[in-house]
Structure 1
């Protein structure tokens, strides 16, 4: 397409883009290994495209809120469809506490 953007990057540069942007990797003709970090954020109810559960070696190092953030809120129902599961008590407690603080601060204004 005529509006294709080909970023010319140097070692150490970073390219950030919104994940719905059409993209593809180019051939690496250099002797330098390219590294990539992919970070995606989406609604918790969306089906993941990589894995549904994190490695226990990671989750054991997290605090309760961290575990809640990476705990899948979905599981398959008896028909094999993805369904929601709200088993994130630490995150709910954090939200309730901060919502209460926000309401108190707003009332004080």
Structure 2
């Protein structure tokens, strides 16, 4: 499984890179803390919303700590996606290392 660090994600965003960030947590989790430029597609909805996942640019999947995103990245790769990465440490790592104003839950 391919991973990207929160520092690498932050650099991509700061540099204006063309990528897609998908949050696979539940809406209640997203309400607690979120990365403003992420698209919310709860884990259970991913199979029905594949058309919303880009195939022509880097796609980074995140959850709370990396478990769910890792699982969905492996599943997406089995579906033929070769451009997907899991955010190592999830939003917890992002809140600790990049945006300390976010709530860690």
Shared fold per TM-score greater than 0.5: no
The alignment's TM-score, normalised by the length of structure 1, stands at 0.23
Structure with more helix by fraction: 2
Structure with more strand by fraction: 2
Rg: which structure is higher? 1
